[in-house]
Structure 1
Amino acid sequence: MSFLVLILVLWFEKFSGLRHLVQRDGFFLGELARLERKGGLPVGWVLAAVVLAPVLVLTLLLHVLEPVAYGLLALPVHLLVLVYSLGRGDAKASLGPVRDAWHRGDEQAALHVAARDLGIVADGPRNLRERLQSRLLWEAYQGFFAVIFWYFLLGPAVALAYRLLALCQAHSQRPALQHRAEQLRHLMDWVPVRVVALSFALVGNFVAVAREILHELLNWHVTAAHLVARVGRMADDGSDAGTASENDCGMRRLDGLWDLVLRCGVLWYAAFALWTVLA
Protein backbone atom coordinates (compact mmCIF):
# COMPACT_ATOMS: atom_id res chain seq x y z
CA MET A 1 0.00 0.00 0.00
CA SER A 2 2.89 2.38 0.67
CA PHE A 3 3.91 2.55 -2.99
CA LEU A 4 0.29 3.14 -4.07
CA VAL A 5 0.05 6.03 -1.61
CA LEU A 6 3.31 7.51 -2.95
CA ILE A 7 1.92 7.38 -6.50
CA LEU A 8 -1.36 8.97 -5.40
CA VAL A 9 0.53 11.75 -3.64
CA LEU A 10 2.22 12.70 -6.92
CA TRP A 11 -1.12 12.66 -8.72
CA PHE A 12 -2.83 14.85 -6.13
CA GLU A 13 0.18 17.17 -6.05
CA LYS A 14 -0.02 17.77 -9.79
CA PHE A 15 -3.74 17.70 -10.51
CA SER A 16 -5.62 18.79 -7.39
CA GLY A 17 -5.64 21.31 -4.59
CA LEU A 18 -5.66 18.64 -1.89
CA ARG A 19 -2.35 19.79 -0.49
CA HIS A 20 -3.59 23.31 0.18
CA LEU A 21 -6.76 21.99 1.80
CA VAL A 22 -4.93 19.55 4.07
CA GLN A 23 -1.90 21.58 5.08
CA ARG A 24 -3.57 23.82 7.63
CA ASP A 25 -1.37 24.35 10.66
CA GLY A 26 -3.55 26.79 12.60
CA PHE A 27 -4.72 24.35 15.26
CA PHE A 28 -1.24 22.92 15.81
CA LEU A 29 0.39 26.34 16.04
CA GLY A 30 -2.34 27.54 18.37
CA GLU A 31 -1.75 24.62 20.73
CA LEU A 32 2.00 25.15 20.55
CA ALA A 33 1.60 28.83 21.47
CA ARG A 34 -0.85 27.98 24.28
CA LEU A 35 1.54 25.47 25.84
CA GLU A 36 4.48 27.85 25.50
CA ARG A 37 2.57 30.54 27.37
CA LYS A 38 2.58 28.17 30.31
CA GLY A 39 6.20 28.96 31.03
CA GLY A 40 6.56 26.34 33.75
CA LEU A 41 6.11 23.38 31.40
CA PRO A 42 9.37 21.57 30.61
CA VAL A 43 10.42 21.39 26.97
CA GLY A 44 9.99 17.62 26.97
CA TRP A 45 6.36 17.90 28.05
CA VAL A 46 5.56 20.42 25.34
CA LEU A 47 7.11 18.23 22.65
CA ALA A 48 5.28 15.21 24.02
CA ALA A 49 1.98 17.08 23.81
CA VAL A 50 2.36 18.54 20.32
CA VAL A 51 4.42 15.83 18.60
CA LEU A 52 4.27 12.53 20.45
CA ALA A 53 0.55 12.64 21.31
CA PRO A 54 -0.65 13.13 17.67
CA VAL A 55 1.76 10.40 16.53
CA LEU A 56 0.41 7.96 19.12
CA VAL A 57 -3.21 8.78 18.22
CA LEU A 58 -2.45 8.19 14.53
CA THR A 59 -0.69 4.92 15.32
CA LEU A 60 -3.70 3.71 17.32
CA LEU A 61 -6.12 4.75 14.58
CA LEU A 62 -4.17 2.88 11.91
CA HIS A 63 -3.89 -0.17 14.16
CA VAL A 64 -7.70 -0.24 14.28
CA LEU A 65 -8.31 0.50 10.58
CA GLU A 66 -5.68 -1.58 8.81
CA PRO A 67 -7.24 -5.01 9.48
CA VAL A 68 -10.63 -3.79 8.17
CA ALA A 69 -11.53 -4.30 4.49
CA TYR A 70 -7.98 -5.31 3.55
CA GLY A 71 -6.67 -1.92 4.63
CA LEU A 72 -8.90 0.11 2.31
CA LEU A 73 -10.13 2.24 5.21
CA ALA A 74 -6.55 3.02 6.19
CA LEU A 75 -5.60 4.12 2.65
CA PRO A 76 -7.18 7.61 2.82
CA VAL A 77 -5.65 8.15 6.26
CA HIS A 78 -2.19 7.29 4.87
CA LEU A 79 -2.76 9.65 1.95
CA LEU A 80 -3.99 12.59 4.03
CA VAL A 81 -1.21 12.23 6.60
CA LEU A 82 1.49 12.01 3.93
CA VAL A 83 0.12 15.05 2.09
CA TYR A 84 0.05 16.99 5.36
CA SER A 85 3.62 15.91 6.15
CA LEU A 86 5.04 17.31 2.91
CA GLY A 87 6.77 20.66 2.91
CA ARG A 88 4.91 23.93 2.86
CA GLY A 89 4.67 25.89 -0.38
CA ASP A 90 6.25 25.21 -3.76
CA ALA A 91 10.05 25.33 -3.73
CA LYS A 92 10.41 26.15 -7.42
CA ALA A 93 7.43 28.50 -7.76
CA SER A 94 8.63 30.58 -4.80
CA LEU A 95 11.70 31.54 -6.83
CA GLY A 96 9.58 32.90 -9.71
CA PRO A 97 9.76 36.62 -8.80
CA VAL A 98 13.54 36.44 -8.42
CA ARG A 99 13.85 34.70 -11.77
CA ASP A 100 11.67 37.40 -13.35
CA ALA A 101 14.00 40.09 -11.99
CA TRP A 102 17.00 38.20 -13.31
CA HIS A 103 15.33 37.86 -16.70
CA ARG A 104 14.93 41.65 -16.83
CA GLY A 105 18.58 42.03 -15.86
CA ASP A 106 17.65 43.91 -12.68
CA GLU A 107 20.01 42.58 -10.02
CA GLN A 108 18.93 45.08 -7.36
CA ALA A 109 15.31 44.06 -7.80
CA ALA A 110 16.33 40.41 -7.44
CA LEU A 111 18.10 41.19 -4.16
CA HIS A 112 15.08 43.13 -2.90
CA VAL A 113 12.55 40.46 -3.90
CA ALA A 114 14.64 37.69 -2.31
CA ALA A 115 14.79 39.63 0.98
CA ARG A 116 11.09 40.54 0.90
CA ASP A 117 9.54 37.25 -0.22
CA LEU A 118 12.05 34.61 0.87
CA GLY A 119 13.85 36.20 3.79
CA ILE A 120 17.18 35.74 2.00
CA VAL A 121 19.54 38.66 2.55
CA ALA A 122 22.54 38.56 0.23
CA ASP A 123 25.44 40.96 -0.22
CA GLY A 124 25.60 40.59 -3.98
CA PRO A 125 24.35 38.68 -7.05
CA ARG A 126 26.78 35.77 -6.67
CA ASN A 127 25.97 35.33 -3.00
CA LEU A 128 22.26 35.49 -3.84
CA ARG A 129 22.66 32.75 -6.42
CA GLU A 130 24.38 30.47 -3.92
CA ARG A 131 21.72 31.10 -1.27
CA LEU A 132 18.88 30.44 -3.71
CA GLN A 133 20.51 27.21 -4.86
CA SER A 134 20.90 26.08 -1.26
CA ARG A 135 17.29 26.99 -0.50
CA LEU A 136 15.96 25.09 -3.52
CA LEU A 137 17.87 21.94 -2.60
CA TRP A 138 16.98 22.15 1.10
CA GLU A 139 13.27 22.71 0.42
CA ALA A 140 13.22 19.79 -2.02
CA TYR A 141 14.91 17.58 0.54
CA GLN A 142 13.01 18.47 3.69
CA GLY A 143 9.69 18.99 1.93
CA PHE A 144 9.69 15.75 -0.05
CA PHE A 145 12.59 13.31 0.18
CA ALA A 146 12.89 13.17 3.97
CA VAL A 147 9.13 12.72 4.34
CA ILE A 148 8.72 9.93 1.80
CA PHE A 149 11.86 8.21 3.12
CA TRP A 150 10.39 7.88 6.60
CA TYR A 151 6.94 7.09 5.25
CA PHE A 152 8.17 4.21 3.11
CA LEU A 153 10.50 2.92 5.80
CA LEU A 154 8.40 3.26 8.99
CA GLY A 155 4.97 4.50 7.97
CA PRO A 156 2.89 7.68 8.21
CA ALA A 157 3.34 8.20 11.96
CA VAL A 158 7.09 8.83 11.61
CA ALA A 159 6.54 11.08 8.56
CA LEU A 160 4.08 13.09 10.64
CA ALA A 161 6.56 13.30 13.52
CA TYR A 162 9.15 14.75 11.14
CA ARG A 163 6.80 17.50 9.94
CA LEU A 164 5.61 18.38 13.45
CA LEU A 165 9.21 18.71 14.63
CA ALA A 166 9.92 20.98 11.65
CA LEU A 167 6.93 23.16 12.57
CA CYS A 168 8.10 23.33 16.19
CA GLN A 169 11.56 24.37 15.10
CA ALA A 170 10.21 27.03 12.74
CA HIS A 171 7.46 28.54 14.90
CA SER A 172 8.39 28.02 18.54
CA GLN A 173 9.06 31.17 20.58
CA ARG A 174 11.10 29.32 23.22
CA PRO A 175 14.81 28.96 22.28
CA ALA A 176 15.13 25.81 24.39
CA LEU A 177 12.23 24.19 22.56
CA GLN A 178 13.61 25.23 19.19
CA HIS A 179 16.97 23.77 20.10
CA ARG A 180 15.49 20.46 21.24
CA ALA A 181 13.34 20.20 18.09
CA GLU A 182 16.43 20.99 16.00
CA GLN A 183 18.39 18.22 17.74
CA LEU A 184 15.64 15.67 17.17
CA ARG A 185 15.26 16.74 13.58
CA HIS A 186 19.01 16.47 13.03
CA LEU A 187 18.74 12.90 14.30
CA MET A 188 15.91 12.14 11.87
CA ASP A 189 17.75 13.84 8.99
CA TRP A 190 21.02 11.96 9.43
CA VAL A 191 20.14 8.88 7.37
CA PRO A 192 17.81 10.28 4.66
CA VAL A 193 20.03 13.24 3.79
CA ARG A 194 22.92 10.85 3.17
CA VAL A 195 20.74 8.64 1.00
CA VAL A 196 19.75 11.75 -0.97
CA ALA A 197 23.44 12.74 -1.26
CA LEU A 198 24.32 9.33 -2.68
CA SER A 199 21.32 9.56 -5.01
CA PHE A 200 22.50 12.95 -6.29
CA ALA A 201 25.87 11.38 -6.98
CA LEU A 202 24.27 8.52 -8.93
CA VAL A 203 22.14 10.80 -11.14
CA GLY A 204 24.75 13.58 -11.38
CA ASN A 205 28.50 13.98 -11.37
CA PHE A 206 29.51 10.97 -9.29
CA VAL A 207 33.25 11.57 -9.61
CA ALA A 208 33.07 15.12 -8.27
CA VAL A 209 30.87 14.11 -5.35
CA ALA A 210 33.02 11.09 -4.51
CA ARG A 211 36.20 13.16 -4.56
CA GLU A 212 34.98 16.02 -2.41
CA ILE A 213 32.06 14.84 -0.30
CA LEU A 214 32.05 11.15 0.53
CA HIS A 215 34.54 11.59 3.38
CA GLU A 216 31.96 13.81 5.13
CA LEU A 217 29.04 11.40 4.89
CA LEU A 218 29.68 9.91 8.34
CA ASN A 219 30.39 13.24 10.03
CA TRP A 220 27.67 13.65 12.68
CA HIS A 221 28.22 17.41 12.98
CA VAL A 222 27.51 18.26 9.32
CA THR A 223 23.99 19.68 9.09
CA ALA A 224 21.51 18.28 6.60
CA ALA A 225 21.04 21.70 4.96
CA HIS A 226 24.78 22.12 4.42
CA LEU A 227 25.29 18.61 3.10
CA VAL A 228 22.39 18.54 0.65
CA ALA A 229 23.27 21.98 -0.71
CA ARG A 230 26.96 21.20 -1.17
CA VAL A 231 26.39 17.77 -2.72
CA GLY A 232 23.62 19.06 -4.98
CA ARG A 233 25.72 21.88 -6.41
CA MET A 234 28.64 19.54 -6.96
CA ALA A 235 26.51 16.78 -8.51
CA ASP A 236 24.88 19.25 -10.90
CA ASP A 237 28.34 20.13 -12.23
CA GLY A 238 27.07 23.38 -13.67
CA SER A 239 29.78 25.77 -14.70
CA ASP A 240 29.62 29.49 -14.03
CA ALA A 241 32.30 30.15 -16.59
CA GLY A 242 31.61 31.31 -20.11
CA THR A 243 30.12 34.27 -21.90
CA ALA A 244 26.70 34.14 -20.25
CA SER A 245 25.72 36.90 -17.88
CA GLU A 246 25.50 36.43 -14.14
CA ASN A 247 21.70 36.40 -14.33
CA ASP A 248 21.64 33.79 -17.10
CA CYS A 249 24.05 31.65 -15.09
CA GLY A 250 21.82 31.95 -12.06
CA MET A 251 18.73 30.81 -13.94
CA ARG A 252 20.63 27.99 -15.63
CA ARG A 253 21.95 26.70 -12.32
CA LEU A 254 18.51 26.75 -10.72
CA ASP A 255 17.06 24.88 -13.69
CA GLY A 256 19.92 22.39 -13.60
CA LEU A 257 19.48 21.76 -9.88
CA TRP A 258 15.74 21.26 -10.31
CA ASP A 259 16.42 18.74 -13.08
CA LEU A 260 18.81 16.99 -10.67
CA VAL A 261 16.05 16.84 -8.04
CA LEU A 262 13.61 15.38 -10.58
CA ARG A 263 16.10 12.70 -11.65
CA CYS A 264 16.68 11.84 -8.01
CA GLY A 265 12.92 11.52 -7.51
CA VAL A 266 12.65 9.16 -10.48
CA LEU A 267 15.49 7.06 -9.05
CA TRP A 268 13.77 6.83 -5.66
CA TYR A 269 10.43 5.83 -7.14
CA ALA A 270 12.11 3.20 -9.28
CA ALA A 271 13.81 1.84 -6.17
CA PHE A 272 10.50 1.87 -4.25
CA ALA A 273 8.79 0.01 -7.11
CA LEU A 274 11.54 -2.60 -7.27
CA TRP A 275 11.45 -3.10 -3.50
CA THR A 276 7.66 -3.48 -3.59
CA VAL A 277 7.85 -6.10 -6.32
CA LEU A 278 10.62 -8.10 -4.67
CA ALA A 279 9.37 -7.84 -1.09
Structure 2
Amino acid sequence: MALLTLIIALLFERYFHTGNSDERQKYSNANWFVAYQKRLGESFGEQSWFKGWLAEAALILLPVILIFLLFETFGDGFISSLIMLALAVVILVHCLGPESPRKSLREYFSDIAQDDEQGAYEHAVNFAGKEADDWAQTQRMVSQAIFTETQRRYAAVVIWFVLLGPAGALLYRLLDWYLANNPEGSLSAPLKSIMDWVAGRISVLAYLLAGDMASGVSKIKRKFFDFNVDGMELVEETGVAAIGPVLDCETEQKQKVAENLCALKLTERTGVILFAFVAVMSLLGWTWV
Protein backbone atom coordinates (compact mmCIF):
# COMPACT_ATOMS: atom_id res chain seq x y z
CA MET A 1 0.00 0.00 0.00
CA ALA A 2 2.92 2.38 0.63
CA LEU A 3 3.91 2.40 -3.04
CA LEU A 4 0.34 2.86 -4.27
CA THR A 5 -0.22 5.65 -1.75
CA LEU A 6 2.92 7.44 -2.90
CA ILE A 7 1.98 7.12 -6.58
CA ILE A 8 -1.49 8.60 -5.98
CA ALA A 9 -0.06 11.37 -3.79
CA LEU A 10 2.48 12.30 -6.47
CA LEU A 11 -0.28 12.44 -9.08
CA PHE A 12 -2.13 14.87 -6.83
CA GLU A 13 1.09 16.88 -6.45
CA ARG A 14 1.46 17.09 -10.23
CA TYR A 15 -2.15 18.24 -10.56
CA PHE A 16 -1.80 20.88 -7.85
CA HIS A 17 1.43 22.30 -9.25
CA THR A 18 -0.18 22.93 -12.62
CA GLY A 19 -2.36 25.50 -10.85
CA ASN A 20 -1.47 28.40 -8.61
CA SER A 21 0.30 28.17 -5.26
CA ASP A 22 -2.78 29.27 -3.32
CA GLU A 23 -4.70 26.19 -4.45
CA ARG A 24 -1.91 23.89 -3.24
CA GLN A 25 -1.48 25.86 -0.02
CA LYS A 26 -5.03 25.06 1.04
CA TYR A 27 -4.14 21.39 1.39
CA SER A 28 -0.86 21.76 3.28
CA ASN A 29 -1.32 24.69 5.63
CA ALA A 30 -0.90 24.48 9.40
CA ASN A 31 -4.12 26.30 10.28
CA TRP A 32 -5.69 23.31 12.03
CA PHE A 33 -2.49 22.72 13.99
CA VAL A 34 -2.40 26.36 15.11
CA ALA A 35 -6.06 26.16 16.18
CA TYR A 36 -5.40 22.86 17.96
CA GLN A 37 -2.42 24.36 19.78
CA LYS A 38 -4.50 27.36 20.81
CA ARG A 39 -7.32 25.15 22.08
CA LEU A 40 -4.95 23.04 24.17
CA GLY A 41 -3.39 26.18 25.59
CA GLU A 42 -6.79 27.56 26.55
CA SER A 43 -7.83 24.27 28.14
CA PHE A 44 -4.67 23.30 30.00
CA GLY A 45 -2.46 26.39 29.93
CA GLU A 46 -3.07 27.12 33.61
CA GLN A 47 -2.21 23.59 34.69
CA SER A 48 1.18 23.20 36.35
CA TRP A 49 1.96 20.00 34.42
CA PHE A 50 1.22 21.54 31.02
CA LYS A 51 4.71 22.92 30.46
CA GLY A 52 7.94 22.02 28.68
CA TRP A 53 8.30 18.63 27.03
CA LEU A 54 4.98 17.34 28.40
CA ALA A 55 3.06 20.16 26.71
CA GLU A 56 4.93 19.47 23.46
CA ALA A 57 4.16 15.76 23.74
CA ALA A 58 0.46 16.44 24.17
CA LEU A 59 0.47 18.83 21.25
CA ILE A 60 2.56 16.85 18.76
CA LEU A 61 2.35 13.18 19.73
CA LEU A 62 -1.38 12.92 20.44
CA PRO A 63 -2.51 13.33 16.79
CA VAL A 64 0.31 11.02 15.66
CA ILE A 65 -0.66 8.30 18.14
CA LEU A 66 -4.31 8.55 17.12
CA ILE A 67 -3.41 8.11 13.44
CA PHE A 68 -1.08 5.22 14.27
CA LEU A 69 -3.77 3.42 16.30
CA LEU A 70 -6.34 4.03 13.60
CA PHE A 71 -4.22 2.31 10.94
CA GLU A 72 -3.23 -0.49 13.31
CA THR A 73 -6.73 -1.36 14.46
CA PHE A 74 -8.85 -0.82 11.35
CA GLY A 75 -10.13 -3.96 9.61
CA ASP A 76 -8.46 -5.76 6.70
CA GLY A 77 -11.49 -6.00 4.41
CA PHE A 78 -11.63 -4.55 0.90
CA ILE A 79 -13.72 -1.53 1.86
CA SER A 80 -11.60 -0.93 4.94
CA SER A 81 -8.44 -1.07 2.84
CA LEU A 82 -9.84 1.48 0.39
CA ILE A 83 -10.75 3.82 3.24
CA MET A 84 -7.28 3.47 4.78
CA LEU A 85 -5.67 4.04 1.38
CA ALA A 86 -7.67 7.23 0.86
CA LEU A 87 -6.81 8.45 4.36
CA ALA A 88 -3.12 7.67 3.83
CA VAL A 89 -3.14 9.67 0.58
CA VAL A 90 -4.82 12.62 2.30
CA ILE A 91 -2.26 12.61 5.11
CA LEU A 92 0.71 12.27 2.76
CA VAL A 93 -0.49 15.05 0.43
CA HIS A 94 -1.14 17.21 3.48
CA CYS A 95 2.42 16.65 4.73
CA LEU A 96 4.19 17.23 1.40
CA GLY A 97 5.18 20.58 0.02
CA PRO A 98 3.33 22.84 -0.15
CA GLU A 99 5.52 24.01 -3.03
CA SER A 100 8.46 22.53 -4.90
CA PRO A 101 11.77 24.45 -4.80
CA ARG A 102 11.62 24.84 -8.59
CA LYS A 103 8.27 26.60 -8.29
CA SER A 104 9.49 28.71 -5.36
CA LEU A 105 12.38 29.94 -7.51
CA ARG A 106 10.39 30.89 -10.61
CA GLU A 107 10.60 34.62 -9.89
CA TYR A 108 14.31 34.28 -9.05
CA PHE A 109 15.05 32.74 -12.45
CA SER A 110 12.70 35.20 -14.15
CA ASP A 111 14.60 38.15 -12.67
CA ILE A 112 17.91 36.71 -13.87
CA ALA A 113 16.47 36.32 -17.38
CA GLN A 114 15.50 40.01 -17.26
CA ASP A 115 18.94 41.07 -15.91
CA ASP A 116 17.37 42.18 -12.62
CA GLU A 117 20.10 40.96 -10.30
CA GLN A 118 18.80 42.95 -7.32
CA GLY A 119 15.34 41.43 -7.65
CA ALA A 120 16.86 37.97 -8.02
CA TYR A 121 18.96 38.54 -4.90
CA GLU A 122 15.89 39.52 -2.88
CA HIS A 123 14.08 36.36 -3.98
CA ALA A 124 17.18 34.32 -3.15
CA VAL A 125 17.32 35.77 0.37
CA ASN A 126 13.63 35.07 0.85
CA PHE A 127 14.04 31.47 -0.31
CA ALA A 128 17.24 30.69 1.62
CA GLY A 129 16.47 32.71 4.73
CA LYS A 130 19.92 34.32 4.86
CA GLU A 131 22.06 36.86 3.01
CA ALA A 132 25.18 36.71 0.86
CA ASP A 133 28.03 39.13 0.08
CA ASP A 134 28.34 38.63 -3.67
CA TRP A 135 26.71 36.80 -6.55
CA ALA A 136 28.91 33.71 -6.24
CA GLN A 137 27.82 33.34 -2.63
CA THR A 138 24.22 34.02 -3.62
CA GLN A 139 24.23 31.22 -6.18
CA ARG A 140 25.83 28.79 -3.70
CA MET A 141 23.35 29.89 -0.99
CA VAL A 142 20.44 29.11 -3.31
CA SER A 143 21.90 25.72 -4.25
CA GLN A 144 22.28 24.79 -0.59
CA ALA A 145 18.71 25.89 0.12
CA ILE A 146 17.44 23.82 -2.81
CA PHE A 147 18.80 20.68 -1.18
CA THR A 148 17.61 21.47 2.35
CA GLU A 149 14.16 22.61 1.23
CA THR A 150 13.72 19.54 -0.98
CA GLN A 151 14.64 17.41 2.01
CA ARG A 152 12.30 19.26 4.37
CA ARG A 153 9.34 19.52 2.02
CA TYR A 154 9.49 16.13 0.30
CA ALA A 155 12.30 13.62 0.86
CA ALA A 156 12.17 13.38 4.66
CA VAL A 157 8.37 13.14 4.63
CA VAL A 158 8.44 10.30 2.09
CA ILE A 159 11.21 8.45 3.94
CA TRP A 160 9.37 8.55 7.26
CA PHE A 161 6.14 7.63 5.50
CA VAL A 162 7.85 4.48 4.26
CA LEU A 163 9.46 3.69 7.62
CA LEU A 164 6.56 4.51 9.98
CA GLY A 165 3.55 4.98 7.73
CA PRO A 166 1.20 8.00 7.73
CA ALA A 167 1.95 8.56 11.42
CA GLY A 168 5.64 8.98 10.60
CA ALA A 169 4.97 11.52 7.84
CA LEU A 170 2.59 13.43 10.11
CA LEU A 171 5.06 13.41 13.00
CA TYR A 172 7.78 14.92 10.83
CA ARG A 173 5.52 17.66 9.51
CA LEU A 174 4.10 18.55 12.95
CA LEU A 175 7.63 18.84 14.34
CA ASP A 176 8.57 21.06 11.41
CA TRP A 177 5.57 23.33 11.96
CA TYR A 178 6.09 23.55 15.71
CA LEU A 179 9.81 24.31 15.51
CA ALA A 180 9.21 27.06 12.96
CA ASN A 181 7.84 29.16 15.83
CA ASN A 182 9.46 27.37 18.78
CA PRO A 183 13.04 26.55 17.73
CA GLU A 184 14.14 25.69 21.27
CA GLY A 185 11.54 22.96 21.87
CA SER A 186 12.76 20.69 24.65
CA LEU A 187 11.21 17.57 23.10
CA SER A 188 10.54 18.53 19.50
CA ALA A 189 14.04 19.83 18.69
CA PRO A 190 15.96 16.65 19.66
CA LEU A 191 13.26 14.42 18.16
CA LYS A 192 13.37 16.22 14.83
CA SER A 193 17.19 16.13 14.90
CA ILE A 194 17.01 12.34 15.18
CA MET A 195 14.49 12.11 12.33
CA ASP A 196 16.61 14.43 10.17
CA TRP A 197 19.74 12.41 10.99
CA VAL A 198 18.18 9.17 9.75
CA ALA A 199 16.37 10.62 6.73
CA GLY A 200 19.41 12.68 5.80
CA ARG A 201 21.64 9.61 5.56
CA ILE A 202 19.17 7.85 3.28
CA SER A 203 18.89 10.92 1.05
CA VAL A 204 22.66 11.31 0.95
CA LEU A 205 23.03 7.80 -0.49
CA ALA A 206 20.47 8.69 -3.15
CA TYR A 207 22.37 11.89 -4.03
CA LEU A 208 25.58 9.90 -4.42
CA LEU A 209 23.84 7.54 -6.86
CA ALA A 210 22.20 10.39 -8.79
CA GLY A 211 25.19 12.75 -8.99
CA ASP A 212 28.97 12.90 -8.88
CA MET A 213 29.64 10.02 -6.51
CA ALA A 214 33.40 10.54 -6.26
CA SER A 215 33.06 14.16 -5.15
CA GLY A 216 30.19 13.36 -2.84
CA VAL A 217 31.92 10.45 -1.11
CA SER A 218 35.11 12.44 -0.54
CA LYS A 219 33.05 15.18 1.06
CA ILE A 220 31.03 13.12 3.52
CA LYS A 221 32.90 9.87 4.18
CA ARG A 222 34.08 11.06 7.60
CA LYS A 223 30.70 12.55 8.54
CA PHE A 224 28.24 9.88 7.49
CA PHE A 225 28.22 8.02 10.81
CA ASP A 226 28.97 11.05 12.96
CA PHE A 227 26.03 11.63 15.32
CA ASN A 228 27.13 15.23 15.80
CA VAL A 229 26.61 16.06 12.11
CA ASP A 230 23.06 17.22 11.48
CA GLY A 231 21.11 15.47 8.75
CA MET A 232 20.22 18.68 6.93
CA GLU A 233 23.83 19.83 7.06
CA LEU A 234 25.00 16.56 5.52
CA VAL A 235 22.35 16.71 2.79
CA GLU A 236 23.39 20.27 1.96
CA GLU A 237 27.10 19.44 1.74
CA THR A 238 26.60 16.21 -0.18
CA GLY A 239 24.16 17.76 -2.62
CA VAL A 240 26.51 20.60 -3.51
CA ALA A 241 29.46 18.20 -3.85
CA ALA A 242 27.44 15.73 -5.96
CA ILE A 243 26.59 18.44 -8.49
CA GLY A 244 30.12 18.01 -9.83
CA PRO A 245 31.65 20.40 -12.35
CA VAL A 246 29.20 22.91 -13.81
CA LEU A 247 29.73 23.44 -17.53
CA ASP A 248 29.48 26.91 -19.04
CA CYS A 249 26.07 27.66 -20.46
CA GLU A 250 25.29 29.34 -23.75
CA THR A 251 24.01 32.60 -22.28
CA GLU A 252 25.27 34.89 -19.57
CA GLN A 253 21.94 34.68 -17.75
CA LYS A 254 22.21 30.90 -17.47
CA GLN A 255 25.83 31.15 -16.33
CA LYS A 256 24.65 33.16 -13.32
CA VAL A 257 22.38 30.34 -12.16
CA ALA A 258 24.05 27.31 -13.75
CA GLU A 259 24.78 25.67 -10.40
CA ASN A 260 21.21 26.28 -9.25
CA LEU A 261 19.78 24.65 -12.37
CA CYS A 262 22.08 21.67 -11.87
CA ALA A 263 21.02 21.45 -8.23
CA LEU A 264 17.34 21.31 -9.20
CA LYS A 265 18.00 18.60 -11.79
CA LEU A 266 19.99 16.61 -9.23
CA THR A 267 17.14 16.75 -6.69
CA GLU A 268 14.74 15.53 -9.36
CA ARG A 269 17.00 12.60 -10.29
CA THR A 270 17.38 11.83 -6.62
CA GLY A 271 13.60 11.81 -6.28
CA VAL A 272 13.44 9.04 -8.88
CA ILE A 273 15.95 7.00 -6.88
CA LEU A 274 13.96 7.50 -3.67
CA PHE A 275 10.84 6.39 -5.53
CA ALA A 276 12.70 3.23 -6.56
CA PHE A 277 13.71 2.80 -2.92
CA VAL A 278 10.04 2.88 -1.92
CA ALA A 279 9.21 0.34 -4.63
CA VAL A 280 11.90 -2.07 -3.45
CA MET A 281 10.89 -1.66 0.20
CA SER A 282 7.27 -2.36 -0.73
CA LEU A 283 8.15 -5.47 -2.75
CA LEU A 284 10.23 -6.80 0.14
CA GLY A 285 7.44 -6.08 2.61
CA TRP A 286 9.59 -3.70 4.66
CA THR A 287 7.14 -0.81 4.69
CA TRP A 288 4.43 0.12 7.19
CA VAL A 289 1.83 -2.16 5.58
What's the CA shift string for 1:18-62, capped at 9, x where partnerless?
A: 854422311211333565683863221221222111011112222
Distance 1:97 1:65 in 2: 46
Distance 1:181 1:117 in 2: 24
Q: 1:104 to 1:76 in 2, by over 3 A?
A: same
Distance 1:42 1:99 in 2: 45
Distance 2:225 2:134 in 1: 33
What does residue 256 of structure 1 align with?
262
Q: Which moved more, 1:10-19 or 1:179-188?
A: 10-19
Task: Answer yes or no: is 1:28 the counterpart of 2:33.
Answer: yes
Question: Which of 247, 253, 272 is the matching residue for 1:266?
Answer: 272
Distance 1:222 1:36 in 2: 34
Q: 1:66 to 1:153 in 2, by over 3 A?
A: farther
Mind listing any 5+ residue stretches in structure 1 that lack a counterpart? none
Could you say which structure has the higher helix fraction?
1
TM-score by length of 1: 0.88
What's the CA shift string for 1:121-164, capped at 9, x where partnerless?
A: 22221221111111111111111111111111221101110100
Contact between 1:66 and 1:74, CA under 8 Å: does it hold in 2? no
Task: Answer yes or no: is 1:63 the counterpart of 2:72.
Answer: yes
Distance 1:99 1:119 in 2: 17
Q: 1:105 to 1:238 in 2, by over 3 A?
A: farther
Q: Percent identity?
A: 27
Q: 1:197 to 1:176 in 2, by over 3 A?
A: closer
What's the CA shift string for 1:226-252, capped at 9, x where partnerless?
A: 21111111111133779964x533422
TM-score by length of 2: 0.85
Q: Which moved more, 1:179-188 or 1:223-232?
A: 179-188
> Within 5 A, what are the aligned runs for 1:183-222?
183-222=190-229
Distance 1:120 1:138 in 2: 13
SS at match of 1:22: coil
Question: Which of 139, 147, 159 is the matching residue for 2:169?
Answer: 159
What does residue 137 of structure 1 align with?
147
SS at match of 1:92: helix
Q: Which moved more, 1:232-241 or 1:183-192?
A: 232-241
Contact between 2:108 and 2:123, CA under 8 Å: does it hold in 1? yes
Q: Which moved more, 1:17-26 or 1:44-53?
A: 17-26
Distance 1:223 1:215 in 2: 13
Task: Answer yes or no: is 1:3 the counterpart of 2:3.
Answer: yes
Mind listing any 5+ residue stretches in structure 2 that lack a counterpart? none
Q: State the one-letter code of the partner of 2:198.
A: V
Q: 1:147 to 1:113 in 2, by over 3 A?
A: closer
Distance 2:277 2:250 in 1: 40
What does residue 242 of structure 2 align with?
235
Aligned length: 275
SS at match of 2:170: helix
Distance 2:235 2:145 in 1: 10
